[in-house]
Chain A
């Protein structure tokens, strides 16, 4: 069965510090990998994706993620966190050739001033 894990319910980081939000997945074959952000009472916004190629993917708002095939991970990172980055973050996978997306449970990021 396909699954996505985000092992941390909550991540707290001080403004200006680097942040990491973790994601690991279990899916057969080579998946497409995504990160989304959700602000309160809003829809999800796409941040970045990995399809193929360079393992380090750069996305919106200074976020990046690193695909690690051997560890089946796709951690989200940002070198310097902003208070405005505080939100709910979702990792998702889409199996190659599949129509559906499998989402992780979400990680709430709080950036403290």
Chain B
């Protein structure tokens, strides 16, 4: 069966510090991978998606970047965090025509 992992579960970082959030998927090959941010427990904002290794599409210009160094690994990064980067970050995967499966999320607080 397929599983998706995210870490860390929670993170508190100072403004201006770097960020690296990791997402890995098991039990499937060549998935589409997605990063979302959820603010204040409400709507999802799509940040990045990837249809293959090294292929990244950015949906919202911002302070973040994403990379996909391996088929089932998706990394969200920032060189310098802003206060507005605080939120709940969700990774998800899907295959063509099917639903998305979400990871457990990372709660990021920027102070």
Contact = CB atoms under 8 A, between A and B. Distances in A.
Interface of A: 32, 34, 36, 40-46, 49, 51, 88, 90, 92, 94, 99-101, 103-106
B49 A42 contact: no
Interface of B: 6, 32, 34, 41-44, 46, 49, 51, 59, 88, 90, 92, 94, 97-105, 107
Contacts of B88: 41
Given A32-B97, A100-B49, A43 B41 contact: no
A101 B35 CA distance: 12
B41 A46 contact: no
Contacts of B6: 43
Nearest to B104: A43
Given A32-B97, A99-B32, A99-B49, A90 B44 contact: yes
Contacts of A42: 104-105
B13 to A, nearest CB: 18
Given A43-B92, A49-B98, A51-B97, 19 more contacts: A34-B100, A42-B104, A43-B90, A43-B102, A43-B103, A43-B104, A44-B100, A46-B100, A46-B101, A88-B42, A92-B100, A94-B97, A99-B49, A100-B49, A101-B34, A101-B94, A103-B43, A103-B44, A106-B43
B106 to A, nearest CB: 10
A45 B102 CA distance: 7
A44 B41 CA distance: 11
